Amino acid sequence: MLDEIAYYQIFGFPVMMYTGIIAFFVLLFTAVAALRMKHGRFSMKWHHRMVVITLIVALAHGMMGLLSEGVVRTEIEDTGTSQKPAKSEAIAYGRKIFKENCVQCHSQGSNLVNPAKPLKGSDKLKDFDTFPSFIRNATGRMPSFSFKQISNEEVMALYHYIISGKNYN
């Protein structure tokens, strides 16, 4: 669930990026407050509050990054970044997902919407590292698939089915 929150898209960027930016600006404001304290413009009480807020935001950002990265990294390590053949159960599961979500536009590995960009030989399939990002943040007429629509496990199975070279039906 944490990976869904951390990578939830707002204006095309994940929440985790925004928390990092907020943490940076709060830290910057805290530093400015410390410098201005010497001139009497900020009270010590205000500075301590900003330090606490900075620590909380930075810890939230760091925890989201560490915990969600652990989830994603484990899945990538399980599959590897090369196109190793997956178990037949994963390929069969991927075929089911492909039939439910992809076959309408990508029958036989083609692309009915944009024939210039077929599924077969796509750069998005070079390794597993690029595929989930493409599925989650598709551009053009291809829909994006959120974590609620397709889980990370399903993305992995779909990837293995597609690279298996099976008949895309």
Q: How confident is the model at residue 63 (pLDDT cuts 50, 70, 90)?
A: confident
User: What pLDDT does residue 111 have?
Assistant: 84
Q: Which two tokens stand for residue 139?
A: 């551009």
Q: What percentage of the chain reaches a pLDDT higher than 90?
A: 0
pLDDT > 50? residue 78: no
Mean pLDDT within 35-42 = 67
Average pLDDT, the chain: 76
According to DSSP, residue 86 is labeled P
Q: d(Cα 113, Cα 116) in Å, to the nearest integer?
A: 9
Second-level CATH architecture of 88-163: Orthogonal Bundle (1.10)
Residue spans of beta strands (DSSP E) within 70-122 = none
pLDDT > 70? residue 62: yes
Listed by start position, the domains of the chain span 2-79, 88-163
